């Protein structure tokens, strides 16, 4: 958007922040604010310079504050995969478009998700059983732990895999049916907005054991197969691509041509068609580069340049080339679930980072650190009483925080965010059987408002304040966090005052606590509650 922020000053609008008692304050001070960042996640900001040069910020009332009644209804208690409140996602277009196809229905004040539809004619559970029978080596919940579902509908594929100890990242390349990803997140299913178009997706190479596409409306063979080459980059060596689409089982001439094109492309990618049954076809990616190197000279697509980093994903263009599989076998062999959660993976050695200890020692130390901290949170702050589904770790490192939640038996999933300002540890996170993305916290995060129950940030602000304003990140946290949700911020003392001031200005209730190191430690814990809003 090219609009000059100064043009907003003359608009006849109501700006402010709601206090916990419902009264609106027009102005609040948050310190210096970056004038270049004036639109954050749907929240419009403006700057005014008062007499004496003091800067103040005004913020347009957030959308959830306009719909206060619906933000009060929050369904908790594990993964709510079958029903969600209509008032939390008041969109009926998907019901109108797909209601007759058993995707979704509205009954009184709730949406219901039967787990069927055009994607899964006989139900999602039976569909998963069929895939497992077609290729027993897929072994959901042991060999296969992390899956990508492209064109996810309302997330039923991922929802039913949760009960099989499988984490599925659901993405909708074309959200043609309004708010699909929001429905998935409301059900407690891992999901992200992801434009599958010109840039790499925000996942590392060899991230997923299975990548699935059922009627996802993607032409995989166009533009020299560039989108399927991106799938190949993200697919683990020896992993599977499951495709359930019309060209597999329809017999019209044009669809038969598309099927032949798909067979031709996958053959050139050295994928093996393992099984075709009814409308489902499953291919397997090779374990090494031997097939690629034995192809005839000049055959397309070519291998990517040896210097291409397949884990570099932040604003990196898609490339019409085949990602090389590491010669050392890194990423090809990971332990079965759940052993892989605490097994230091081979790819740990390839992470570019300054380390005075061995990487395996750092990995073990981080796991022990977060295991003890989460155990203390459970004891001191009764975390087991929290009803968590969607959790966001904003600076995840090796994923120790998420692993500790699993060890403690929390019925939730964690999206581990690796900031672009630090080392890229995403391959390690996926090799552990966890989900994660790369992100720049100076920019908005790709999710709908009010979609996470808990935000966790450890040492994030003291690093990112060198790149962008603290209030920029805090406002984005407020957009993401569900009313009634919590944010736990572990930070150094030199940023705590500003964090507290900003959190209070946003209407959060805050409490500052010492860490286990005691009152003289250089870190504190800021616990923030985003209050439920009332009329």
Q: Hey, how many other C-beta atoms are within 10 angstroms of the C-beta on 333?
A: 13
What is the pLDDT at residue 270?
A: 97
Residue 142 banded pLDDT, cuts 50, 70, 90: very high
Pinpoint the residues of the chain covered by CATH 3.40.50.150. 83-294, 339-530
Q: Which residue has the higher pLDDT, 2 or 231?
A: 231
What is the pLDDT at residue 515?
A: 87
The tokens describing 501, both together, are 């001031």
Q: Which residue has the higher pLDDT, 100 or 155?
A: 155
Q: 196's torsion region: left (phi>0), alpha (psi -120 to 50) or beta?
A: beta
What is the pLDDT at residue 311?
A: 97
* Fold for the domain defined by 339-530: Rossmann fold (3.40.50)
Closest by alpha carbon to 339, among 236, 412, 431, 411?
A: 431
The answer, yes or no, to whether residue 500 has pLDDT greater than 80, is yes
pLDDT in tens, 272-294: 999 999 889 999 999 999 999 99
The answer, yes or no, to whether residue 246 has pLDDT greater than 70, is no
The tokens describing 215, both together, are 């009627």
Q: Hey, how many other C-beta atoms are within 10 angstroms of the C-beta on 76?
A: 13
Which SS3 state, helix, strand or coil, does residue 40 take? strand
Omega within 30 of 0 (cis) for the link into 301: yes
What is the pLDDT at residue 98?
A: 43
| Mean pLDDT confidence for 450-471 | 95
The CA distances from residue 120 to 40, 141, 215, 277, in Å, are 38, 20, 10, 14
pTM confidence score: 0.81
The dihedral built from the CA positions of residue 5, 10, 11 and 15, taken in this order, carries a sign that is positive
The answer, yes or no, to whether residue 81 has pLDDT greater than 80, is no
* Fold for the domain defined by 83-294: Rossmann fold (3.40.50)
Q: Which residue has the higher pLDDT, 84 or 466?
A: 466
State the burial class of residue 62 (Cβ atoms within 10 Å of its Cβ: 0-12, 13-18, 19+): buried
Q: At what angle do helices 493-505 and 470-480 cross, to 10 degrees?
A: 50
| Mean pLDDT confidence for 388-406 | 97
Q: Which residue has the higher pLDDT, 456 or 4?
A: 456
The answer, yes or no, to whether residue 23 has pLDDT greater than 50, is no
pLDDT in tens, 403-442: 999 999 999 999 999 999 999 999 999 999 999 999 999 9
Strand segments (E) across 201-269: 208-214, 235-244
The CA distances from residue 1 to 4, 38, 192, in Å, are 9, 10, 23
Contact partners, residue 96, CB within 8 Å, separation at least 6: none
């Amino acid at each position: 958007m090219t609009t000059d922020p100064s043009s907003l000053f003359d608009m006849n609008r109501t700006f402010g922040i709601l206090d916990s008692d419902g009264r609106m304050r027009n102005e609040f001070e948050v310190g210096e604010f970056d004038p270049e960042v004036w639109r954050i996640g749907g929240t419009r900001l403006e700057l005014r310079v008062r007499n004496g040069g003091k800067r103040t910020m005004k913020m347009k009332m957030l959308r959830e504050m306009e719909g206060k009644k619906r933000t009060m209804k929050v369904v908790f208690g594990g993964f709510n995969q079958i029903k969600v409140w209509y008032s939390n996602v008041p969109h009926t277009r998907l019901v109108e478009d797909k209601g007759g196809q058993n995707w979704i229905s509205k009954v009184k004040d709730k949406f219901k998700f039967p787990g069927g539809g055009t994607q899964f004619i006989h139900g999602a559970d039976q569909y998963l059983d069929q895939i497992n029978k077609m290729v027993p080596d897929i072994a959901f919940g042991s060999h296969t732990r992390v899956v990508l579902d492209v064109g996810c509908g309302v997330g039923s594929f991922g929802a039913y895999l949760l009960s099989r100890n499988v984490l599925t990242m659901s993405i909708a390349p074309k959200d043609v049916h309004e708010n699909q990803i929001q429905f998935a997140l409301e059900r407690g299913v891992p999901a992200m907005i992801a434009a599958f178009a010109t840039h790499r997706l925000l996942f590392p190479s060899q991230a997923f054991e299975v990548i699935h596409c059922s009627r996802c409306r993607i032409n995989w063979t166009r533009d020299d197969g560039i989108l399927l080459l991106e799938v190949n980059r993200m697919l683990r060596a020896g992993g599977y691509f499951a495709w359930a689409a019309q060209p597999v089982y329809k017999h019209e001439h044009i669809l038969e041509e598309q099927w032949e094109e798909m067979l031709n492309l996958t053959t050139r990618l050295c994928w093996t068609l393992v099984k075709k049954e009814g409308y489902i076809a499953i291919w397997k990616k090779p374990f090494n580069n031997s097939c690629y190197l034995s192809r005839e000279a000049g055959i397309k697509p070519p291998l990517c340049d040896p210097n291409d980093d397949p884990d570099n994903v932040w604003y990196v263009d898609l490339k019409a080339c085949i990602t090389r599989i590491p010669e050392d076998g890194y990423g090809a062999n990971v332990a079965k679930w759940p052993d892989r959660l605490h097994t230091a993976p081979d790819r740990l050695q390839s992470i570019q980072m300054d380390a005075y200890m061995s990487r395996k020692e750092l990995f073990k130390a981080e796991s022990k650190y977060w295991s003890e901290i989460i155990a203390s949170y459970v004891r001191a702050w009764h975390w087991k009483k929290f009803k968590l589904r969607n959790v966001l770790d904003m600076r995840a490192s090796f994923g120790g925080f998420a692993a500790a939640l699993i060890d403690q038996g929390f019925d939730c999933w964690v999206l581990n965010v690796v900031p672009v300002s630090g080392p890229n540890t995403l391959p390690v996170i996926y090799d552990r059987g966890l989900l994660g993305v790369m992100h720049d916290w100076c920019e908005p995060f790709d999710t709908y408002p009010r979609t996470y129950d808990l935000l966790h940030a450890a040492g994030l602000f003291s690093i990112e304040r060198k790149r962008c304003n603290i209030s920029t990140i805090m406002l984005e946290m407020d957009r993401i966090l569900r009313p009634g949700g919590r944010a736990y911020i572990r930070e150094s003392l030199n940023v705590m005052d500003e964090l507290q001031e900003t959190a209070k200005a946003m209407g959060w209730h805050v409490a500052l606590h010492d860490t286990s190191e005691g009152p003289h430690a250089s870190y504190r814990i800021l616990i923030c509650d985003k209050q439920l809003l009332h009329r």
